[in-house]
Amino acid sequence: MGKAHALKLSGAGAKVVLADISQQECQLVADEIIKNKGEAIAVKCDVSQKSEIDNLVSEALKKFGKIDILVNNAGIYPFEPFLQMSEDHFKKVIDINLKGYFLMAQAAAKEMVKQKSGAIVNISSIAMGQVGVGFAGLTHYCASKGGITAMSQAMALELAPFGIRVNCIAPGAIDTPGTHTTEMTEEQKAATVAPIPLKRQGRAEEISNAVLFLASDESSYMTGSTMVVDGGWVAG
């Protein structure tokens, strides 16, 4: 989904810094943006490592001078039964999905406070709990996504005096490379979309539309919100 968000934001005029554990993957996206006359750089970054986030922020500032928007999107969702889930696997998901968002948002916000403006968009999930949907086999993931939504509300309160807005998006089932890791039979595919009123998976670009909205001044009166983009799954 990160690729779709980067292309969307670049199309709207943003200069983009792409970050991923795979330098090669994000360089390909940066090249595509540059080919389309946009501006972008790609930086290798493991978001669970503070030193790599510090390097990312410093590369962004070196190239573009300031940070107006942060989209926290990196995440993993390895299915694993609760009773067999090891402490290490639980910790790894929390370190990337939750601690990574915290470290990234803190590093970006420290720059945004200087200019007294900024927009942070955290990609949560309908697995976030409360009005969301529970997912068997994803205890660690659900914990991380609930944490992102709660953390974003607290961040929104603390950063509002600095003109920085913090919002979340809770996508439903979106067709991405990450969801293609297991081959599905036609029956399994039908079961996946059965609880979704619109009867299909979402496209990455449909989440990017929400990212652009929350990153832009079009959402200037929104902070601390979570926008559910799920084809009606939660409503059902």
Active site residues: 141
In the block, tokens 């990196």 appear at 74
Strand partners, 169: 123, 227
Rule CB under 6 A: choose which of 27, 117, 176, 192 binds ligand NAD: 176
- Across the strands, what pairs with 130? none
Residue 125 sits in the site that holds ligand NAD (CB under 6 A): yes
Q: Binding to ligand NAD by residue 60, rule CB under 6 A?
A: no
d(CA 126, CA 228): 7
- Report the Cα 127 to chain-centroid distance in Å: 14
Among 32, 39, 46, 68, binds ligand NAD (CB under 6 A): 46
Considering the rule CB under 6 A, would residue 107 count as an interface residue with ligand NAD?
Answer: no
171 touching ligand NAD, by CB under 6 A: yes
How far lies 91's CA from each of 73, 95, 98, 161, in Å? 18, 6, 10, 33
- 163 vs 236 by CB, closer to ligand NAD: 236
From candidates 48, 139, 149, 208, binder to ligand NAD by CB under 6 A: 48
Strands 174-175 and 164-171: unpaired
Residue closer to ligand NAD by CB (options 160, 191) is: 191
User: Of the two residues 112 and 174, which places its CB atom closer to ligand NAD in the complex?
Assistant: 174
Q: Does 153 bind ligand NAD (CB under 6 A)?
A: no
Tell which phi-psi region holds residue 18, choosing left (phi > 0), alpha (psi between -120 and 50) or beta: beta
Q: Where are the alpha helices (DSSP H) in the chain?
A: 2-11, 23-35, 50-64, 87-94, 100-115, 139-159, 186-193, 204-215
Choose the stretch contacting ligand NAD; rule: CB under 6 A; options: 6-14, 72-80, 131-139, 218-226: 72-80
Both tokens of 14, joined, read: 């943003």
> Does 77 contact ligand NAD by CB under 6 A?
yes
- When asked if residue 227 is in the footprint of ligand NAD (CB under 6 A), the reply is no
174 lines the binding site for ligand NAD (CB under 6 A): yes
List interacting residues with ligand NAD (CB under 6 A).
1-2, 20-22, 25, 45-48, 73-77, 96, 123, 125, 171, 173-174, 176-179
